[in-house]
Structure formats: C-alpha cells, structure tokens
C-alpha cells in the first residue's frame, strides 16, 4: 500500500479513512515501543 492515501487504502479494504488512520497510529506506536525495548539490537555502530 505504498504511495496510497489513507482514503485509497480504506476503499480497498472497505474501511473508513478514519479507521485506517487509527490503525496506522496504533501500529506505529507498537513499532516504536518494540524498537525502544530493543535499542541495543538496532544500534548503528
């Protein structure tokens, strides 16, 4: 779904643009939390 707007993704998945945005925010927050707990594994040397 790269290069697609939230509205386009919603139409493709039969979801509202608002729901797609909520899901996106939730997923990004979970990814950030995972990255923060594993900082040492992802450290650039």
What's the whole-number average pLDDT of the chain? 91
The pLDDT value recorded for residue 16 is 98
Q: What is the mean pLDDT of residues 15-38?
A: 95
The pLDDT value recorded for residue 44 is 67
Inter-residue contact 20 to 10 (CB < 8 Å): yes
Which is more confident, 2 or 15? 15
Which residues contact residue 4 at a Cβ distance below 8 angstroms, ignoring those fewer than 6 apart? Answer: 12
pTM of this structure:
0.76
Whether the pLDDT of residue 10 is over 90: the answer is yes
The pLDDT value recorded for residue 2 is 86
């Amino acid at each position: 779904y790269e290069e697609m707007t939230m509205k386009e993704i919603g139409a493709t998945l039969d979801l509202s643009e608002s729901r797609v945005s909520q899901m996106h925010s939730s997923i990004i927050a979970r990814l950030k939390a995972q990255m923060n707990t594993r900082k040492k594994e992802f450290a650039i040397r």
